[in-house]
Structure 1
Amino acid sequence: MKHLLIFIITIFIFTGCSTKLTKYDNISKASLERVSFYEIEDFYNDDLNKALEVFVKACKKSKKNELFQGVCQEALSTQNGRDFFISNFHAYKLVDSKGEDEGVITGYYEPLLNGSLNKDERFKYPIYKTPKDMIIVDLSSVYPELKKYRLRGKVVGNKLIPYDSREELELTPNENLEPICYVDDKFELFLLHIQGSGKVKLQDGTVLNIGYDNQNGRRYKSVGKFMLQNGFITKNNASIQGMKEFFDNNPQKVDEILNHNESYIFFRESSQGATGSLGVELTKKRNLAVDRRYIPLGMPVFISTLNPVTKEKINKLTVAADTGGAIKGEIRADFFWGYGDEALEYAGRMKEKGKLYILIPKDKKQVLN
């Protein structure tokens, strides 16, 4: 009897306490580990009322998703963030295909550029609107499995061909391109393309909000990785700051290196500041850009990572409100630092390990099955 009791206890230790991973393919392609809120470091120390405020703002768009309809309605009738999130959500830690629970967390920000409505010797780099001749093809009516994809191109003769690359757009005159304005720094303009939105300060002091409108359909290629592989920067200065220093010292290399990334972004004037893919204005240190295969837009996400400069812990409940060409992977996010030079200081240097926890509404059992 004694041996039987020991055997039962042993089985409990090694099976009852083992980690159970779950798959909810309708929500995330990642493996998910159910955790209690007490297991999430600093969850109860965070400003959950602020997190609720950001979640409510996201609900203006995310409530269209069946997953969030109920909790978005509930969020309007409460002001207690702690009670709201604990009562309405279960927490799940993202785990990758290798069984690891840490991924890469980078940062982004809203850049400020100097510009002019008129082109001259100083202000000569255009911020373009979406080209008039660019065609966007939605294949979902014929191929439902491709509903998340769009073809972008232009018609030449009777054929639809890929739209121009970055190099082609900058070298070939195109009457279908209309500039919003012109800026004075090519690398700063490239950063605007990478960040997806920003501000342009005109000479009379007027500030234009510039937001993402479209893309040329070419695949994003990392310029930073290209510079690292070719010895233009080292691991020690693999940051926006390190890249800028190289370009300041080697202006003849700017075009060659930037054209490695054929992707090109088109913009529009906006009435508000940085706006993510969800369609709501981003909140400093409370929004993330994510890979939608693993984290739906509008999802509350608790992030555990480090400040890249001070190495202090960042443990915050955020909301997924944006995407990005470089944000791909099961445990992958871009942390929004806000606007200005201080935001650039952190965002430009950030490449930290981190954990992500998604909060799934409790009332969506039918979605989870």
Structure 2
Amino acid sequence: MKISKAPAPKASRIRIVMNHTSSRPEARSIPFSLAGLSLLCMALLTGCQWLSKPQPASSVPPVASPTAVPAAPKLEWPAGVVERPRARWVPAAWGELPGWGLDRVTEVLPALRRSCVRPAEGWLMLCAQLRTQTLKDDIATRRWLEDSLRVYRVESLTGDAQGLLTGYYEPLMTASRQPTETRRVPLWAPPADLASRRPYWTRQELESLPAAQAAVKGREIAYLDDPLDALVLQIQGSGRLRLQEPDGSERMVRIAYADHNGHPYRSVGRWLIEQGELKASEASWPGIKEWTRRNPTRLQEMMWQNPRMVFFREEPLPDPSVGPKGAQGVPLSPGRSVAVDPQSVPYGSLMWLDATEPLSTKPLQRLVVAQDTGSAIVGAVRADYFWGWGDEAEAQAGRTKQALRTWVLWPK
């Protein structure tokens, strides 16, 4: 899970830019609250109206059941471009989605159902419909999506539709509850005084100053062999530990992001490039590990270039097939969850990705759900693709750095 916890913006911050001369198909924006709607109608000086279903012709008015609940009114929005704090959503058509007819769209439904536990504003009605839908195959699912959603192309505020796709995964490490001769790298829970001291001690201070070390004493969750393994967990934000207990037993647990020390994240790979130690093409995680193997005396120097320290909490792992929770607060789904900038795309949104697979020209075009974020995930056309866990997920995540185009699919 990515470590930044920026909240999703409220829908009332979204505004519509009128575009009467545009030849693009009509689009609807994200629903507002009723109060926000009234203000919007006044501001636009247009006749917003509630459209109710026509009543059947009859000489005798139908008698309503005393327990009947009236249908929710349907709001017609004027055509236009939706602007969010860091992105523009431009009305588009289903035919613009590259590879739309080829994706196994039924595979996104479990991830979407998880997001519906905490639906984005504007998704309540569609999530309620999803609970009653019987979608047996991709054709039925695709038809339901096309009937229920509108398509918006995501662009930067300056109109750039090109961006970046990276990848992340959930690491699996072997750890011990107590330090051993080889396992001496701690993973800490948040210190008791973390909230009263911002920013907190830096990584270097926590590893070298007695006062800082005293603040985290007793907060150890587990110990690892390699400082780089600890850094990987801190960058990814969560992981699985094959944990060896003092009594000799072993169990699998998850450690999840709890907080950080308030200092900015700085990439050790970028530092190695700036130092002339690695070329940009070599600054992958395997390349960094190989550099530290050749330069063991400079490992600490490299680690201290990143002042941010992440603190964790331990969680049980009753179902190993379920991913860690993202920033939306729901479990991630391998291959169907992405981290986004919530100032560009709200959590719970369906998105279409157009990229290629790592080290390949094979298309990576699929339907995903925005369920997470990260400190490096900033901007309009920006996504971090959750590959899952295990060796293959680690390899794919480390290689993912692809050109990206994205679309948001939003309820009508």
Shorter-chain TM band: 0.7 to 0.9
Aligned to 1:22: 81
In structure 2, give the amino acid aligned to 1:131. P
Query: What's the TM-score once normalised by structure 2's chain length?
Result: 0.74
1: distance between equivalents of 2:269 and 2:361? 22
1: distance between equivalents of 2:182 and 2:144? 53
2: distance between equivalents of 1:269 and 1:15? 53
In structure 1, give the amino acid aligned to 2:103. D
CA separation of 1:295 and 1:335: change in aligned 2, threshold 3 A:
same
Aligned to 1:262: 307
Q: Match for 1:338 among 382, 388, 405?
A: 388
Query: What's the TM-score once normalised by structure 1's chain length?
Result: 0.82
Aligned to 2:43: none
SS at match of 2:387: strand
2: distance between equivalents of 1:124 and 1:310? 39
2: distance between equivalents of 1:239 and 1:43? 31
Q: Match for 2:235 among 183, 194, 209?
A: 194
Q: How does 1:200-219 map to 2 (within 5 A)?
A: 200-203=241-244, 204-219=249-264
1: distance between equivalents of 2:305 and 2:110? 40
* Superposition RMSD in Å: 2.1
Q: What is the CA distance between 1:55 and its match in structure 2?
A: 0.4
In structure 1, give the amino acid aligned to 2:404. G
Cα shift readout 1:293-323 (whole Å, capped 9, x = no counterpart): 1011111111111111333111110011111
In structure 2, give the amino acid aligned to 1:290. V
Aligned to 1:166: 203
Q: How does 1:86-125 map to 2 (within 5 A)?
A: 86-125=146-185
Q: Match for 1:182 among 218, 223, 235?
A: 223
Q: What is the CA distance between 1:233 and its match in structure 2?
A: 1.4
Q: What is the CA distance between 1:345 and its match in structure 2?
A: 0.9
Cα shift readout 1:257-316 (whole Å, capped 9, x = no counterpart): 222221111111123442211112211111001111101111111111111133311111
2: distance between equivalents of 1:181 and 1:15? 59
2: distance between equivalents of 1:68 and 1:248? 50
In structure 2, give the amino acid aligned to 1:75. L
Q: Match for 2:272 among 227, 239, 245?
A: 227
In structure 1, give the amino acid aligned to 2:342. R
Q: What is the CA distance between 1:16 and its match in structure 2?
A: 4.0
SS at match of 2:288: helix
CA separation of 1:23 and 1:182: change in aligned 2, threshold 3 A:
same
Aligned to 2:410: 360
Q: What is the CA distance between 1:53 and its match in structure 2?
A: 2.0
Would you say how many aligned residue pairs link Structure 1 and Structure 2?
A: 322
Partners of 1:133 and 1:176 within 8 A in 2: no
SS at match of 1:194: helix
1: distance between equivalents of 2:108 and 2:397? 21
Q: Unaligned 5+ residue runs, structure 2?
A: 1-20, 26-78, 136-140, 318-322
Q: What is the CA distance between 1:15 and its match in structure 2?
A: 6.8
SS at match of 2:364: strand
CA separation of 1:330 and 1:124: change in aligned 2, threshold 3 A:
same
Aligned to 2:329: 279
Aligned to 2:127: 72
2: distance between equivalents of 1:323 and 1:100? 21
Cα shift readout 1:55-97 (whole Å, capped 9, x = no counterpart): 0111112x2x422222221211113232332122111111123
Partners of 1:21 and 1:31 within 8 A in 2: no
Aligned to 1:7: none
What is the percent sequence identity of the aligned residues?
A: 31
Structure with greater strand percent: 1
Q: Aligned pair 1:247/2:292, yes or no?
A: yes
Q: What is the CA distance between 1:202 and its match in structure 2?
A: 2.6
